[in-house]
Structure 1
Amino acid sequence: MLKISKESIENEYIERRVYAFRLLQTPRSARNFAKVLVGLFAFSLLVLFLPWTQNIPATGMVTAFYPQDRPQEVPAVIGGRIQQWYVQEGQFVNQGDTLVRIGEIKSEYFDPQLLERLREQVEAKEAAIEATKANIEALKQRLPVLRQAARLSLQKAENKVKQYRLKVISDSTNYQAQLVDYQLAENQLARYDTLYQKGLISLTDYQKRQLKLQESKAKLTAAENYYLASQQEYLNALIELSSVQADYREKILKAESELRSYESYLANAQLELATYRNKYASTVIRNQNYYILAPQSGYVIKALKQGLGEIIKEGDTVVEIQPAQPQKAVELYVKAMDVPLITPGREVRIEFAGWPAFQFSGWPSVSVGTFGGRVKVIDYVSQPDGTYRILALPDATHDPEWPEQLRIGSAVQAFILLDDVPVWYEIWRQLNGFPPSLKEAPSASDGKNKEEKKK
């Protein structure tokens, strides 16, 4: 050991031969275990700095993205009694296929000739309306004729009044002239009487003068009679003028009254016709609703009414149909604290119930049996339990398409992927109960930008 001798002894030989050295020697298994521990520590230290994809766990179920693709209840538009079933549960039906036929239960629709009766009422009311329109048109044409006849008759009566007024004036003048002539004849007879008494004229001349006085008196009486008759005719002409005015006014008012009456009847008839037409159209539609048809192609899920003869009310659901080719989506529910971190376009890793899968949430690239999706819709209002609903559509860009065997309502487990962080940061976050972190506020384009970066 002090190297005094030129011959050396190997350390291994000494350790093998000397018992004390053999007791102090480290076992080989211990050295191997130490190496393993050092390797595991180095590996763990390396793992702590590996990237970890932050995610938000969610659960939900398979649904249809569009409302018209979701299970649909087919109601009875009218009340009635089930008479015949044309389908059974699980059967595929095309749009417009007959599902159920129902019978009438309201007494006012029992008449098998009801549509014919209603059509006759409509036709009769239409004929009455046409006749009323013809009467209205005749009255409208009659009124101008009456007004024209009234003007002509009034002009005729007024001319007659003027004529008799002139005649009164003429007869009055003639009467005054005859009166003057009579007075002159009377004065002359008085003078002739004096002359006759004195014997200056003969009896013949005196009698001639008397005769002339009698003639003058007769003419005066005739003139007076003519004058009085003219006055009476003038008064009759005035009365006739008033009578013509009253008569034609009555005729015009009567025609106008009849016109208004026909117009009122026409309005009521049109209202009744509209009511009859409405009832006729409603009855036609009601007859069509005796057959409950499939609103779209799909599968009959469940019959909610059973048997024959069962009475159903208006609006009662008869069957439930699932559309044939819905646009499938997953309906996920997340906590309210995670909603601000999710934006449309975020990637989702989905595990469907019944499909074997191994899902590693932080490293989605090593997951097996999962399917890809993209966040499409985020509800603005929370559910009664405080969670928020999210709809995700298939993303077949880097993943296989969703299985065709998926049924609406199947359970789903999913992880909504966020940003990448070191593993040590994720462990620290989980231990402290912090939410996933983001460098900046998310926007609607974050998910799309992340997808473009991956491409």
Structure 2
Amino acid sequence: MLNISSNKIKESIPFSGSKSLVMTLPLKENQRRLRLITGMILSIFIVLFLPWTQNVRSKGYVTALRPDQRPQTVHSILAGRIEAWYVAEGDFVSRGDTILRISEVKDEYFDSLLLPRTQMQVDAKALTAKSYAGKVDALQSQINALQKNNILRIQQAENKLRMAELKVQSDSIELVQAKVNYDIGKYQLERSENLYEEGLRSLTDLESRKLKFQEVQAKLISSENKLLSSKNELITARIDLEAIDNDFKDKLAKAESERLTAMSSQFDAEASTTKLENQYSNYERRTGYRHILAPQDGYIAKAIQVGIGETIKEGDQIVNIVPANADLAVEMYVQPVDLPLMEVGNKVRFIFDGWPAIVFSGWPQISNGTFGGVIVAIDRFAGNNNQYRVLVVEDAEESPWPEPLRIGSGADGIAILNDVPVWYEIWRQLNGFPADYYTQEQKDQIESSKK
């Protein structure tokens, strides 16, 4: 075999009848290799024309479809001290269940009778406002009475003024009459004196005429005095009329001032009452916040604040809660170059962490262990990782997602695109071209043509 010796075995021993030698003859070996290579070339050629489903692969994780169904952190509204825990991690809580209780750490809320005493202040202020309202009503009644009394007094003063005017007129007429009588008496006296000097009248008649003239003169002076007195009364009536109005205005201004002061005090008392009621309501609500309640049905995932007696600040995180009933979805992130290929309603296949799967990305029909989804939302802007978020929900036309699937589980998404030949996909990958983009109308046309 090593050709060390010059003696050849094949010359001394015949091998023509050996089957193993016949199978290893060089001619037949070349033929076998030729057939194998030919078969491989034909297979590769056939494979190049097989349909290949274009896809975009992306990593993501399981989340909830609705924001209110996603895991949340419960915060403390008050600053306080932890007094008691009523749940443990992993416990199920219903909405409104007490998670823990805290006590106050601010001295203005230490009073155990804070609410009753605040209510007493509210009642006292309310009564004060009510009393001021009564005072306002009483002053308004006084103002109404002053107005009515002023009307009567003005009427009375106007009547008195009218009487004084009439009296002045009467005394003026009487004075004119007295002047006429005076002139007549003076003329008669002069005539009597002339007749006496002529001896036609006696001295007695003359003296009698003088007495009558004195009476007429006295009556004239009396009429003048009476007229002046009537004029003084008229002036007094006018002054009284103006004095009544001025007195009314003074009393009315004083009453209005007192009424407005009472109204100001009433409004101030009502504002203080409202403020105290607001304070009472705040105290009452604050008392309710001493018990941290579960915002919805779910499971206690993690207690961030622990222990008894630990002090927490306002807004501190206390526990994490995972909602019990959530519509699961997957958040997957795609590159900007693949964003035009994503459309709402497109199909997506998922490989969930913990569920074994055999995946042929180009032939999703023969893949096993994957789950179907449908795109329902696509972000309008890129995130911090310069990728776009795509939200996918369970495909109702396929098998449901696993029941034990939890929020936060990893998911490998395969967005299903178009069917193209294998050779075209290889050519596209070698040239770095993007996957074919088809509109939804074109996809519907292709589906209808297949049917």
State the TM-score, normalizing by the size of structure 1: 0.85
Instruction: Name the aligned partner's letter for residue 409 of structure 1.
Output: G
State the distance in 2 between where 1:450 and 1:273 align.
Answer: 74
State the distance in 2 between where 1:292 and 1:25 align.
Answer: 89
State the distance in 2 between where 1:446 and 1:375 align.
Answer: 18
Which segment is superposed worse, 27-36 or 425-434? 27-36
Structure 1 residue aligned with 2:176:
176
Instruction: Name the aligned partner's letter for residue 412 of structure 1.
Output: A
State the distance in 1 between where 2:449 and 2:374 align.
Answer: 15
For the Cα contact (< 8 Å) 2:130–2:266, is it kept in 1?
Answer: no
Structure 1 position 236 matched with structure 2 position 236: yes
Structure 2 residue aligned with 1:278:
278
For the Cα contact (< 8 Å) 1:350–1:372, is it kept in 2?
Answer: yes
For the Cα contact (< 8 Å) 2:129–2:267, is it kept in 1?
Answer: no
Structure 2 residue aligned with 1:410:
409
Structure 2 residue aligned with 1:226:
226
Deviations 1:355-384 (A, max 9, x none): 222211111122222222222221111122
Classify the secondary structure of the residue corresponding to 2:325: coil
Distance 1:118 1:373, change over 3 A: same
Structure 2 residue aligned with 1:55:
55
State the distance in 2 between where 1:397 and 1:162 align.
Answer: 107
Aligned-pair identity (%): 43
State the distance in 1 between where 2:52 and 2:177 align.
Answer: 144
For the Cα contact (< 8 Å) 2:335–2:387, is it kept in 1?
Answer: yes
State the distance in 1 between where 2:35 and 2:167 align.
Answer: 158
Structure 2 residue aligned with 1:10:
none
Structure 1 residue aligned with 2:426:
427
State the distance in 1 between where 2:221 and 2:369 align.
Answer: 142
For the Cα contact (< 8 Å) 1:74–1:318, is it kept in 2?
Answer: yes
Distance 1:201 1:181, change over 3 A: same
Q: How many residues align?
A: 433
Which segment is superposed worse, 389-398 or 125-134? 125-134
Structure 2 residue aligned with 1:204:
204
Q: CA deviation at 1:198?
A: 6.8
Instruction: Name the aligned partner's letter for residue 302 of structure 1.
Output: K
State the distance in 2 between where 1:269 and 1:453 align.
Answer: 82
Distance 1:262 1:25, change over 3 A: same
For the Cα contact (< 8 Å) 1:301–1:319, is it kept in 2?
Answer: yes
Q: CA deviation at 1:54?
A: 0.7
State the distance in 2 between where 1:454 and 1:322 align.
Answer: 45
TM alignment of 1:1-150, pairs within 5 A: 26-140=26-140, 143-150=143-150
Structure 1 residue aligned with 2:339:
339
Deviations 1:242-291 (A, max 9, x none): 11121222233334434444444444344333322222222211111111
State the distance in 2 between where 1:234 and 1:190 align.
Answer: 38
Structure 1 residue aligned with 2:247:
247
Q: CA deviation at 1:235?
A: 1.6
Q: CA deviation at 1:94?
A: 0.8
Distance 1:417 1:126, change over 3 A: same
Classify the secondary structure of the residue corresponding to 2:354: coil
State the distance in 1 between where 2:92 and 2:385 align.
Answer: 37
Distance 1:205 1:396, change over 3 A: closer
Instruction: Name the aligned partner's letter for residue 435 of structure 1.
Output: P
Structure 2 residue aligned with 1:155:
155
Distance 1:448 1:285, change over 3 A: farther
TM alignment of 1:324-403, pairs within 5 A: 324-399=324-399, 401-403=400-402
Instruction: Name the aligned partner's letter for residue 428 of structure 1.
Output: W
State the distance in 2 between where 1:110 and 1:446 align.
Answer: 72
Deviations 1:28-74 (A, max 9, x none): 44433332222222111111111111111111111111111111011
Structure 2 residue aligned with 1:7:
none
Q: CA deviation at 1:229?
A: 2.0
Distance 1:375 1:451, change over 3 A: farther
Distance 1:344 1:198, change over 3 A: closer
Classify the secondary structure of the residue corresponding to 1:419: strand
For the Cα contact (< 8 Å) 1:343–1:446, is it kept in 2?
Answer: no
State the distance in 1 between where 2:169 and 2:25 align.
Answer: 175
Distance 1:160 1:171, change over 3 A: same
Q: CA deviation at 1:452?
A: 7.7
Distance 1:198 1:398, change over 3 A: closer
For the Cα contact (< 8 Å) 1:345–1:446, is it kept in 2?
Answer: no
Instruction: Name the aligned partner's letter for residue 333 of structure 1.
Output: Y
Q: CA deviation at 1:419?
A: 0.6
Q: CA deviation at 1:415?
A: 1.2
For the Cα contact (< 8 Å) 2:73–2:318, is it kept in 1?
Answer: yes
State the distance in 2 between where 1:49 and 1:198 align.
Answer: 179
Structure 1 residue aligned with 2:7:
none
Instruction: Name the aligned partner's letter for residue 80 of structure 2.
Output: G
Distance 1:194 1:241, change over 3 A: same
Q: Which runs of 5+ in 1 are unaligned?
A: 1-14
RMSD: 3.0
For the Cα contact (< 8 Å) 1:349–1:415, is it kept in 2?
Answer: yes
Q: CA deviation at 1:141?
A: 5.2
Classify the secondary structure of the residue corresponding to 1:354: coil
For the Cα contact (< 8 Å) 1:335–1:387, is it kept in 2?
Answer: yes
Q: CA deviation at 1:352?
A: 1.3
For the Cα contact (< 8 Å) 2:161–2:237, is it kept in 1?
Answer: yes
Structure 1 residue aligned with 2:11:
none
